[in-house]
Amino acid sequence: MKFLDRAKIYVQSGAGGNGCMSFRREKFIEFGGPNGGDGGAGGHVWAEAVDNLNTLIDYRYQQHFRAKNGRPGEGSNCTGAGGDDLVIKVPVGTQIFEEDEDTLIADLDEPNERVLLAKGGNGGFGNARFKSSTNQAPRRANPGQPGEQRTIWLRLKLIADIGLVGLPNAGKSTFLAAISAAKPKIADYPFTTLHPNLGVVRVGDGQSFVLADIPGLIEGAHEGAGIGDRFLGHVERCAALLHLVDGTAEDVAADYMTVRRELTAYGGELAGKKEILALNKIDALGEEEIKEKKSALEKTANKSVFAVSGVSGAGVPALVGKIFRLAAETRTEDTVQTEDEDAGWSP
């Protein structure tokens, strides 16, 4: 399934049915009077967040959505049937904007959460509604109200516990594939990852957390360089960031600062999120080189650094344990697991 995180759609609610103008005409019943029924209400258009979707690709091929109209009223005081509501199903984490792409209508970040996008028109009154002591044979009925039309934008921000960031070829996809069942594209050239990938990492006793891998950032990404910072929105909701640095790079400290500058330029409070820093690809380094580059990173970032290899699995259990504990801090206390260094995870 292709990944799409932005879509423009057009919605229209149903129009209300017209009221009926009718009079009772039966044998032996004189002056039966008005008996025209009201029209039915038009259907509403709703957006609902569902668990089993993670892309907006469906809305690339269908952009127009219209709810059913209400049926007109009938004689014998019969009210017309109301139009069926239309429910547009979107992934959890979808934001809905007005046509200007700036005015937020709703942020559906919980399963089964709903928002009304367009209200159906009311049905018109039949002539029975206008009967009075001074007007016992009204010859008027109201038309139904038209439905609402709106142009809206859907923007998906994936729901994940931890966001995986770094330069292109930092080994993010390899790391994600090593600790989860996700199967991202892996190759030895930059920008292998062209869209975000989600992986569920399972640890001991049935516990798990969700890791989001986004395309690599390069210097000037906030100005559109490379793939740009378009996909950074997918880690805005994350509790923390896992920053992988390519251990085979000549200047690991400079690589780290490049990504940090892009996070700061993007905004969205990304630069202020908790961060776990890891030196990746240590399987390609000697012991002295690992110590040297790890020390350089710790000095620049002013925090401890994990040394790992997504290929060999070296240092990965300890890192996964740290990630899990950090993710668990944002959840309810009954889901927090034991604080073993490896958190029960094994390759």
Please enumerate in sequence order all residues whose Cβ is within 8 A of that of 57, keeping only pairs 6 or more positions apart, or say none.
1, 2, 3, 4
Q: Show binding-site residues.
A: 166-173, 191-195, 213-216, 280-283, 309-311
Three-state DSSP state, 218: coil
Q: Show binding-site residues for GTP.
A: 166-173, 191-195, 213-216, 280-283, 309-311
DSSP 275: E
Contacts of 135-143 with CB under 8 Å at 24 or more apart are 136/31, 136/33, 137/23, 137/33, 137/34, 138/34, 139/21, 140/21, 141/18, 141/19, 141/20, 141/21, 141/36, 141/73, 142/18, 142/19, 142/39, 143/18, 143/19
Question: Interhelix angle for 252-266 vs 287-301, to 10°?
Answer: 30
Strands of the sheet with 162-165, listed across from one edge? 197-202, 208-213, 162-165, 240-246, 274-280, 305-307
Q: Show binding-site residues for Mg(2+).
A: 173, 193
Assess contact for 95 and 157: CB atoms under 8 A. Answer: yes
Distance CA 235, CA 271 (A): 11
DSSP 34: B
> Scanning the structure block, which residue is given the tokens 């059913």?
68
How far does Cα 78 stand from its chain's mean position?
44
* HSE value, Cβ hemisphere, 13 Å, CA-based, for 277: 22
Q: Is the dihedral of CA 43, 56, 90, 239 positive or negative?
A: negative
